[in-house]
Amino acid sequence: MVQQRKYDIFILENLENFISMASMALFHVVFFLVVGFIFLIYGAKFFCDSALHMLRKFNINSAMVEIFLISIGTAAPDLVSTITAILEDHPNIAMGNIVGSNFSNLALGFGIASLVTPFKCNKRVAWVEFPLLAALTIFFTSCCIRGQITRCASVIFLTTFVVYLLFPFLRKKSKNTSDKIGISVENLNAWSAKKSGVVFVSSIVFLTLGAHLVVTSCYHISNFFKISETFIGFSLLALGTSAPEIFVVTTAAKQRHYTICSGNIIGSNLLNLMLITGLCTLIHPLYFAKGSFLVETGALIFITVVTWYIFAVKNVFSRKYGLMCVATYFLVVFFLHKSV
């Protein structure tokens, strides 16, 4: 009896030690995850600031180029995180991040921004960018149904990206609109060439280190809670890497910069599909079970069509549409969590 009691005490003590160690390990993982997201967000900001300064030095004063560059900066966390996930052999995290980022950009980006301030929908976005986004989303979904995104598909994505990139240069240069999009010309002009170079290199270091910390942390969280890497990529990683887009579009809505509200989100989503998917699959083609990501891509197509309809027909993204988008996001995440 005494021996049994000693054995029970021994088991309890070791169980407490194990729980304590597990909690400490989880704390470290969450800490590095937060640090990684901070590095990604500030790395994207430094990248955008230094790149805009270089534009000034080369006298490139196109508003479309500046808006596009801001989209590149806010999409940078997605790019480096996805490439890092593929290189570190976590393809499900990479795929979840691509689909989840686009979904959260549309559902939460437009949703939260319209809840803060209802905004007018840009007609050019409704009839130029949105059809392109819808077509690319359907093509991406068809690749998921086939269970592979090959280098041939990556060439299609990257070719579309090059055409999209050259499109602003084929049009007449527009007047500089830095003030309209919240860029401080004085601050940018005050930068020396050396400072912009140092900041640019530092931004790449921040982005790379942040991506490694975030992807590694997501992998450990997935293992700790026995949750699929796809769900972690779709929810946690995608939400973190979408934070810059959500922040920018919400700030733009407050300041009534409606072009940025529309252009930043759609531009970032196009880059996720054209540049990020194209580059990643060019580096390493992705193969997975046929019919994978059907729920995730189905939800993405649904929110794309709904937001496109609001832009094309309703003209104003009101609070009721914003509430519907935010509710859709949480319903989809809840459903995926229950089905894991």
Give the whole-angstrom CA distance, residue 320 versus residue 302: 17
Of 59-73, 143-157, 289-303, least confident by mean pLDDT is 59-73
> Of all helices (H) and strands (E), which one includes residue 119?
strand 119-120
pLDDT at 153: 94
Domain boundaries 2-339, corresponding CATH code: 1.20.1420.30
Cα torsion through 189, 194, 195, 198, rounded to 10: 140
Residues 16-30, mean pLDDT to the nearest whole number: 59
Assess contact for 260 and 252: CB atoms under 8 A. yes
Of 107-116, 154-163, 219-228, 245-254, least confident by mean pLDDT is 245-254
Residues 169-182, mean pLDDT to the nearest whole number: 47
Q: Residue 142: which pLDDT band, with cuts at 50, 70 and 90? A: very high
194 or 285: which carries more pLDDT confidence? 285
pLDDT at 168: 62
Q: pLDDT at residue 127 above 80?
A: yes
Residues 252-269, mean pLDDT to the nearest whole number: 80
Distance of CA 266 to the CA centre of its chain: 11
302 or 182: which carries more pLDDT confidence? 302
Residue 120, SS3 per DSSP? strand
Of 121-125, 138-142, 304-308, least confident by mean pLDDT is 121-125
Residues 113-120, mean pLDDT to the nearest whole number: 88
Give the whole-angstrom CA distance, residue 18 versus residue 73: 42
Q: What percent of the chain has pLDDT over 90?
A: 26
Assess contact for 54 and 25: CB atoms under 8 A. no
pLDDT at 175: 45
pTM over 0.75: yes
Q: How many Cβ atoms are within 10 Å of 296's Cβ, its own excluded?
A: 25
